[in-house]
Amino acid sequence: MRIEFPDGDVEVFEPGTTGMDVAESISRGLAKKALACTLDERLLDLTVPLPADGSIRILTFADDRGKEVLRHSAAHLMASAVKSLFPGTRLGIGPAIEDGFYYDMDIPDFPGSSALEGVEAEMRRQVEEDVPFKRQEMDLSEALQLFEELGETLKLELLRELQHKGETRVSVYRHGDFVDLCRGPHVPSTGLLRHFNLLGVAGAYWRGDERRQMLTRIYGTVFDSAQGLKRHLQLLEEARKRDHRKLGKELEMFTVGGEGGPGLAYWYPNGTVVLEELERHWKEAHRAAGYQLIRTPHIAPAELWQTSGHYDYYRDNMYFLDVEGAEYALKPMNCPGHMLIYRGRKRSYRELPMRLAELGTVYRYEKSGVLHGLMRVRGFTQDDAHIFCSQNQITDEIKGVVRLALYFLKIFDFGYKIRLSLMDAAEADHYAGNEESWRTVEPVLAQALEEMEEDYAPVTGEAAFYGPKIDIDLRDALGRLWQGPTIQFDFNLPERFDLTYVGSDGAAHRVLTIHRALYGSMERFVGCLIEHYAGNLPGWLAPMQCIILPITSEQREKALEVFRRLEDVGLRCAVDDSSETVGYRIRQAETSKVPFMLVIGEREVRSDMAALRVHGEGDRGSIPVDEAVETVREACRRPALPNGG
RNA sequence: GCCCACGUAGCUCAGUCGGUAGAGCACAUCCUUGGUAAGGAUGAGGUCAGCGGUUCAAUUCCGCUCGUGGGCUCCA
């Protein structure tokens, strides 16, 4: 048989040759690292004979598909360990996921996370034994019988579903006594699964359906090397250290939940400084980009929510109140208020594009179990805006919004990934607005991104029911992705509110509406910033920017003089003349992550100097006070505003 | 909301196999005037999350409630 290698070489092999044979023919090293292979892009086990001629690729951990095979095999290994320790365990599903794997199982009398050590030990035993994974294909009816005998009722359900889809042949994988319905492929043997770690236990509904049985989900991760595993575990540890809930408490920024109510944030003075600086800059940047700021109330009559559709479609997430016998709702979104402001009077095409922005606080009922620090709360402030424009303005408007969004991300050195969510034409009737709007707008979104030379991933079927959207995920300092700016067309609300403008032809036209939020939620964004910077916020956001430390009370006057000079240039600073040693006061300032300290002793007083100390870096030596003030001021300067809209 | 785990001083945590509790940090007072990440002494501070049950006795065992965490689901 003729096998083509990735470099284009073709070699002839005996029939019955396996992927492993091919890997060995290339090099011993590759064979050792090989996890699976693809033949003409079809995934295959290394241990089965290659079915035909074709172009082969040997997959290792360096390849995403290789990672997936390793992780999925580790899931099987874990499941087999659980089954041998907890007889009667029924298997659900056990896929590879980003960074690892899980397996959902119904485990009788499972004691919880305390059992993980035992499971790991059993897995290690099987790794040492180096048990081979074996693929076996069979008729679906045969498989039904097999899993019936094994009592694997959940697997039977999956099989019946396959049967419904018209499948007739399935594959199972065995290693040792363990059998699992599985498409595969798998690594050749359990010996390759040496570098794993079990990470946690959680409940998960069978098939993700909350009406179904709750299974036990065990999470784990696996790598091809001890270093890889170690690095990953260190990353998890670093993420734990940066947890905004922990740092938020330590730095006295905020509390959320507890006595104050689940999902509700209380901002302490330090956190409030951060929020206000962000908001001030946000407002200035938006004015510079041609937005007009507005404000809308926190409650509105039920009728408004009926008009917008929220009353019918979003009510499970809304809080209602009684006002003199009339029904009101706490606003879960700012959009309806913005629509009302647009509709405040007849609008002319000359007013468009009209960009209305608001830092609007909204309240949404979220199930208690989903609340998470500042990332998921019940009351939060959206940096919301609606752009009302005409058809021929949409390209410029989209570009303007994307540019503004990227401007904000760049300030904080976030990386990003753009997703373009489009409608699924097969389900056209699920969407609001007329089809023509979708057909004109969707290509414009793509075109705008292309003209800006931004990479993006189009995703069909991911559009909101009311319009296509551009979502930007931001990547933080640890490489984690967070939900970032979102730019959404809305074909629904302009119709519901009957929003029009008078064109140059004197006729009324339906106005187009772009709904966008860049930070998303101010609360969540601050949480994200705290984790991104590990609490060491950039100077302009630091709640306290500079602490002045007189070495003895002799230098108190000089310290106060320096303090006033810093204050005069608008810096947040304080003199720490408490009766503690210098070392102690420095430590205080360091642990509270104040970016700068100016230490003033007798020497500095004599020469009108201050010793500058930079957080995390240490003593920079004495410099003239003028220079010190300028250095701190420069480092705490607010970001430049965007130019033009 | 559901599954599992957890809840001891402001914070981080010991402890009590059932006899009502302790450390470090933080806080207060005093001493200390100290040159780049913790000077010393003294003191105050807890209905052991809340309610109920079992018990001679509950912070400890059981139940419920509330809250928190890891997930499921959903979303900003």
3-state SS, one letter per residue, for A483-509:
EEEEEEEECCHHHHCCCEEECCCCCEE
Residue A407, domain member (yes or no): yes
Q: Which pLDDT does position A633 carry in this prediction?
A: 98
- The CATH number given to whatever domain includes residue A27 is 3.10.20.30
Q: Which pLDDT does position A402 carry in this prediction?
A: 96
Q: What is the distance in angstroms measured between the alpha-carbon CA of A48 and the sugar C1' of B13? A: 55
Strand B, nucleotides < 7 Å from a protein CB: these are 1-5, 11-12, 31-39, 66-76
Q: Which pLDDT does position A410 carry in this prediction?
A: 95
A106 and A234 share a domain? Answer: yes
CA closest to C1' of B31 belongs to: A579
A308 and A185 share a domain? Answer: no
Mean pLDDT over A382-394 rounds to 95
Domain boundary among A532, A563, A591: A532
**Structural domain harbouring A307:** 299-328
CA closest to C1' of B40 belongs to: A580
Query: Which residues of A are marked as active site?
Result: 335, 364, 382, 384, 386, 469, 515
Cβ atoms A303, A368 nearer than 8 A: no
Q: Of the segments A45-54, A99-108, A165-174, A371-380, which one has the largest average pLDDT value?
A: A371-380
Question: Does residue A151 come out as left (phi exceeding 0), alpha (psi in the -120 to 50 range) or beta?
Answer: left
- The CATH number given to whatever domain includes residue A372 is 3.30.930.10
Q: What is the DSSP letter of A643?
A: P
Q: What is the distance in angstroms measured between the alpha-carbon CA of A594 and the sugar C1' of B29? A: 29
Whether pLDDT at A214 is above 90:
no
Whether pLDDT at A645 is above 50:
no
Q: Which pLDDT does position A306 carry in this prediction?
A: 95
Whether pLDDT at A315 is above 70:
yes
Element (H, E) at A232: helix A226-242
Domain boundary among A34, A60, A86: A60
pTM for the model stands at 0.91
Length of chain A: 645
d(CA A106, CA A484): 37
Q: What percentage of chain A carries pLDDT values higher than 70?
A: 100
Task: Look at chain A and report how many structural domains it folds into.
Answer: 5
pLDDT mean across residues, chain A: 92
Q: What is the distance in angstroms measured between the alpha-carbon CA of A108 and the sugar C1' of B57? A: 38
pLDDT digits (tens, 9 = 90+) for A36-75: 999 898 899 999 888 888 888 999 999 989 999 999 999 9
Residue A583, domain member (yes or no): yes
Mean pLDDT over A351-369 rounds to 94
Give the ipTM. Answer: 0.92
Residue A552, domain member (yes or no): yes
Alpha helices of A86-202 — where are they, by DSSP H? 116-129, 140-150, 153-164
The answer to whether the peptide bond before residue A353 is cis (omega within 30 degrees of 0) is yes
Q: Which pLDDT does position A118 carry in this prediction?
A: 85
C-alpha torsion A565→A566→A571→A575, nearest 10:
-120
Alpha helices of A309-347 — where are they, by DSSP H? 310-313, 335-342
d(CA A378, CA A523): 11
pLDDT digits (tens, 9 = 90+) for A397-454: 999 999 999 999 999 999 999 999 999 888 888 888 888 889 889 999 999 999 999 9
Strands A609-614 and A618-624: antiparallel
Mean pLDDT over A389-401 rounds to 94
A84 and A206 share a domain? Answer: yes
